[in-house]
Amino acid sequence: MSKLILLRHGQSVWNAENRFTGWVDVDLSQKGIEEAKKSAELIKNLNLNLDVSYTSFLKRAIRTLTTVLKENNMDLKFNTSWEINERHYGALTGLNKEETKKKVGEEQFKRYRRSWEIAPPPMNENDKNQSLFSPLNASIPLGMIPFTESLKNTYERVIPYFKKEIQKNIEKNKNVLISAHGNSLRALCKYLFKISNEKINDLEIPTGNPLVVEFDKKHKVGKYYYLDKSRAKKIIFNQ
């Protein structure tokens, strides 16, 4: 039986400042570093060999992953992909969430943050935050970098990548670790747990708390659980 471990990176500097981060390449906060170390310990306690690992182009996810691999005395070889980057928040990028809520109203704010199909206004081509994107973005094919995304848009890049590059390892009964982001992991959970468009807005992914998904002999989702029970969020399945 293979295991898939889904890990949202530890708290980032902009998470701590309550700002929309998206594709901006900010680092972990001190709390985030501690969350990454805690995640590493929890995974180590599984006594599990991690056969292959994946992360995004963003340093907060990469640093979380390398912390886990080092703690588990694993080879620091891993796969990076822009397809599992965080959702692009468009013109909201860099803005304080509370101030934005006051400006646009609570209902519109909820639509931007949690709806399935509604994307924020697009980022301007000369937005200063573009200079804060990952240098790894230079390898993304021309025209593929978005200027805003809904969760549906995020899903449409995460799931094809999962099916093409990651799922084959699960089918070979390998143990896989993905260190990614709140929305890219929400998109993946939507697919794995068959969550409806209406219920996906209820799914929360905590930072720095590994979610283990076990697959049966037919490679179907079996058991699933957070390693830190005290910080676990409700897992929605087939709703």
Q: Known catalytic residues?
A: 9, 86
Closest CA to 200 of 184, 213, 187: 187
- Non-local (6+) Cβ contacts of 156 within 8 A are none
Strand partners, 225: 212
- Non-local (6+) Cβ contacts of 213 within 8 A are 3, 4, 5, 6, 192, 221, 223, 224
Closest CA to 123 of 144, 151, 93, 96: 93
